[in-house]
Amino acid sequence: MADISQYLADIMSAVYGEDVRGSIHDAIEIINDVGEKVLTTGTAVIGPSSSSSGFFEDSLYLNTNTMELWKCTGTDAWASQGTLKGDAGTPGTDGIGIEDIQKTGTSGLVDTYTIYMDDDVTTYTFLVTNGANGNKWYRGTNISGKSVNPTVYSSSGITLAYPNDFYLNPTEGAIYYCVTGGDADTATWSYDFTMTGGGGGGGTSDYNDLTNKPSINSVTLSGAKSLADIGAAASADLATVATTGAYSDLSGIPTLATVATTGSYNDLTGRPSLATVATTGSYTDLTNKPSLASVATSGSYNDLSNKPSIPTVSIAGDGTASSSATHSQKITIDSTPTAIDGTTYMEYTASASTFTFTNAAITANSVIDVYTDTWGDNPSGVTVSAGSCSVAFSTSQSRTVRIYIR
């Protein structure tokens, strides 16, 4: 650095204005000369006769590619000051890299991580401090009561709780906090407080104690108020019907038909002309009634026309006198020998499996009733032909067989 102490002394000792100005000028000039002799860096190639444009004498220039330092010695004149870059050093040994990083320990909120280098020997460790878990809120009714002792609530359904987590029971308005973290079977909870507010104060039954009382025409309804007090019309200004409520006091009453007050059909005008049957409901008052046959009202078989001719059969043989019978192709088998007085029948007793009855009264269309003297001894088949009826049984035994010809 240039020594400017003499210039400073000249400034301080100058008395006259010209001397002062001169000494200040000389000091500034020397400072400028020193400031211009600075180091410039770049990649431009400098030689002994390179252009010095923009440089001052004694300025320095460092070529950062070759690390050669040049000094400006005059106009377009440079002198090498040597090379700042030394000879290449001996190559170093191969370095090692990171092979893996693992968390190898935890203590509270601090985790320990280990860096394993790829030489399988070198390791480094560093610590990471985690933030504490925030408080979590749960809601339900499975934690209840007011026990301040830490208690396990296995039915809480909380898979993982942390200390100072909270639980709200909305039914009871109770708040609980977690004392020991864990799942539903290990976490413990303690009652904290209840959010339910106290009961409200007593009400009033005195109208005068109420606030925001109603008003009419901006007049608060309190105490005795007349219509005039609340700006309402006096009774003298009202129509009579306003106080009597009588229909007859209405004005402009419409003229009503008689039926409006009697409700009688007879008071209607323009009534339709109804047939007699409309009011009597009698069949005899109908016109154009259909012509019915006698049987339609009597229901008697004798009143039928074109009745079928039913033949009668005279039955001769064992038994009582002959009687009439209706013929069909039906055979009736009845194993219950009941009293049949006055009915024509034929009866045989024998030890056999087949009983044949002959009688001229039997036709192929006869209706035959068969009875035996033993309950459940029913025939296995009955064959009817003209003048003959054959009754067969599945077993041969002593039995009495009776047939009725109807």
- pLDDT for 307 equals 74
Residue 27 confidence (pLDDT): 59
Residue pair 358/405 in contact by the 8 Å Cβ criterion: no
What tokens appear for 231 in the block?
A: 């700006």
Inter-axis angle of helices 5-13 and 17-36, to 10 degrees? 160
Contact between residue 132 and residue 109 where contact means Cβ atoms under 8 Å apart:
yes
Neighbours of 55 (CB within 10 A): 22
Q: Where are the beta strands (DSSP E) in 75-222?
A: 77-83, 98-107, 110-117, 123-129, 137-139, 151-152, 166-169, 174-180, 188-194, 215-216, 219-220
CA distance 406 to 402: 13
| Phi, psi for 154 (deg, rounded to 5) | -65, -25
Element at 354 (helix H, strand E): strand 345-358
pLDDT at 339: 35
What was the pLDDT predicted at 326? 30
Spatial distance between the Cα atoms of 176 and 188, rounded to a whole number of angstroms: 10
Cα separations in angstroms, 136 against 109, 132, 157, 158, 159? 18, 12, 15, 11, 13
> 356 - beta bridge partners?
390
Beta carbons of 219 and 225 less than 8 angstroms apart: yes
Look at residue 394 in the predicted model and tell me its pLDDT: 92
CA atoms of 165 and 177, how far apart (whole Å): 6
CA–CA gap between residue 147 and residue 189 (Å, rounded)? 9
Q: Would you state the pLDDT for residue 11? A: 63
Q: Give the rounded distance of the alpha carbon of 1 from its chain centre.
A: 89
Using one digit for the tens of pLDDT, what is the confidence trace for 67-78?
888 888 888 899
List, for the chain, all residue ranges whose pLDDT scores fall below the cut of 70.
Answer: 1-8, 10-12, 14-17, 19-38, 86-87, 196-202, 233-237, 309-344
Query: CA 78 to CA 268: how far, in whole Å?
Result: 142
Query: Does residue 369 contact residue 331 with C-beta atoms inside 8 Å?
Result: no
Q: Supply the pLDDT for residue 201.
A: 62
Q: How many angstroms separate the CA atoms of 386 and 364, rounded?
A: 5
d(CA 327, CA 310): 9
Tokens of 18: 């010209």
Q: What residue ranges do the domains of the chain occupy?
A: 5-83, 98-129, 137-194, 332-405
pLDDT of residue 233: 61
Q: Decide: 176 and 197 in contact? Cβ < 8 Å.
A: no
Q: What is the pLDDT of residue 198?
A: 57
Task: List the structure tokens of 131.
Answer: 């933030």
* Predicted pLDDT at 401: 87
